[in-house]
Amino acid sequence: MKIAQFETFLVNAGLRNYLFLRLTTNTGLTGVGEASLEWQEKTVETFLHEWVKDRILGEDPFDIERIVDHFVRDQYQGGSTVMTAISAVEIALWDLIGKACGYPVYQLLGGRTKERFPAYANGWYGGCRTAADYAAAAFSAVEQGYTGLKFDPFGVAFRELSGPAMNDAEALVRAVREKVGERIKLMIEVHGRLSAGSAIEMGRRLEKYLPAWYEEPVTPNSLDLLLEVKKSLPFPIAAGERLYTLHDFYRLIHLRAADVIQMDIAHCGGILMAKKIAALAQAQDLQVSPHCSVGPVALCAAVHFGWSTPAVSVQEYFGDYDVPWRGALVLGWNPLRQGEFLLPQKPGLGVELGTAVFPRYPYKPNSFPSLWDKRWLEELTQAESNAVE
């Protein structure tokens, strides 16, 4: 069995664009992957066709280790564009292998490791402005069955937080905590906004609200600053979504600069690379919770990874707060019920691309304003509301 055809599909999903990949073998099997890189999908698409395509055609899908190792070796510069493209191919290869063997991917990765696999909600705060808005939206998410909620209460902060800005952020977290009670996990997202000093001061103010973790409190480019914050606060620190290589994660884990390791399977080299990172984390008694803020194929890969990986206890989920047509972009999968992921049953990833609807949702340039433009919060999930027919 050899890879005989290579296709990409770029579709819009409101404030995001999703880039999907489909590989077809000479036996007629298809494998799907996702190469969405937040607001850089056109760049990744170009790289896939100019550099990756010729190198994957003719390859045996079962040779994942060699293929990925040579991709990483041969693409001299590395970085997020390269690793996202490689990840998409790697995920599609696993899909092909699962279909060829007749097993869901998670069974090929070690099998089921847990009885239940909860999701935590992200995106539930779209359009919220006041503390009361956040509290009401949080309560609504909890009513859907979620036992964990993630949100960024810091507006458009950058580096330093003034006293009033800290008061505003604390008020949002307090309102949500008071509304949902202590049993719900609150993941406080910072998006790398703050200086170490501001992150520590703000973290101390948030301690009383029992954060499940404090995510990317400082720039992802400085593990020393991250470690400084971690040593200063009594609750878990999460990081890793903007690291891209095994070596990056080795340093993060070796330093113990975070308590929760958040590789993104769509950016770190794929499922097998994520398994290696999780093994490093498990050896240091660290938790793993993959980042996944893009589309449904990337999420599907993360779910198979999560079911088969003991160190994973919870997975991020945007699906309930994405555009109405998200579910039509893939066929064959309804991943969540009452805040918990269902165990996949079909061979491979268990999904196929819904290409028939793709022309309805063409790529939109500059679909997301910026995390430092207040429109990002006001417009999140508030894009076109036309549902799929």
Q: In sequence order, what DSSP letters do the residues of 80-138 get, joined into one string?
A: HHHHHHHHHHHHHHHHHHHHHHTSBHHHHTT----S--BEEE-STTTT--SHHHHHHHH
> Which pLDDT score is estimated for 380?
65
Q: How far apart are CA 120 and CA 141, in angstroms?
A: 10
Dist CA 84 CA 68 (whole Å): 12
Per-residue burial over 59-80, b if 16 or more Cβ lie within 10 Å, else e, is bebeebeebbeebbeebeeeeb
Sheet with 30-34: list strands edge to edge.
Answer: 3-13, 16-25, 30-34
Task: State yes or no: is 191 an active-site residue.
Answer: yes
Among candidate residues 49, 70, 191, 254, the one labeled active-site is 191
Q: What is the pLDDT of residue 42?
A: 96
pLDDT tens, residue order, the chain (389 aa): 999 999 999 999 998 999 999 999 999 999 999 999 988 999 999 999 999 999 999 999 999 999 999 999 998 888 999 999 999 999 999 999 999 999 999 999 999 999 999 999 999 999 899 999 999 999 999 999 999 999 999 999 999 999 999 999 999 999 999 999 999 999 999 999 999 999 999 999 999 999 999 999 999 989 999 999 999 999 999 999 999 999 999 999 999 999 999 999 999 999 999 999 999 999 999 999 999 999 999 999 999 999 999 999 999 999 999 999 999 999 988 899 999 999 999 999 999 999 999 999 999 998 887 888 877 777 665 544 444 44
Q: What is the 3-state secondary structure (H, E, C) of 162-177?
A: CHHHHHHHHHHHHHHH
Strands 340-341 and 336-337, sheet pairing? antiparallel
Domain ranges within the chain, ordered by starting residue: 107-347
3-state secondary structure of 7: strand
Catalytic residue list contains 267: no
Task: Tell me the pLDDT tens digit for each residue of 77-121.
Answer: 889 999 999 999 999 999 999 999 999 999 999 999 999 999 999
pLDDT 10s digits, 285-315: 999 999 999 999 999 999 999 999 999 999 9
End-to-end Cα spacing for the chain: 37
- Provide the percentage of residues in the chain whose pLDDT is more than 90: 90
Distance CA 311, CA 10 (A): 33
Look up the CATH architecture of domain 107-347.
Answer: Alpha-Beta Barrel (3.20)
Global confidence as pTM: 0.95
User: 117 near 317, Cβ under 8 Å?
Assistant: no
**How crowded is residue 147: how many other Cβ atoms within 10 Å of its Cβ?**
18
Question: Which amino acid belongs to residue 288?
Answer: V
Q: Please, which residues have CB within 8 angstroms of residue 48's CB and are 6 or more apart in sequence?
A: 6, 8, 21, 35, 85, 88
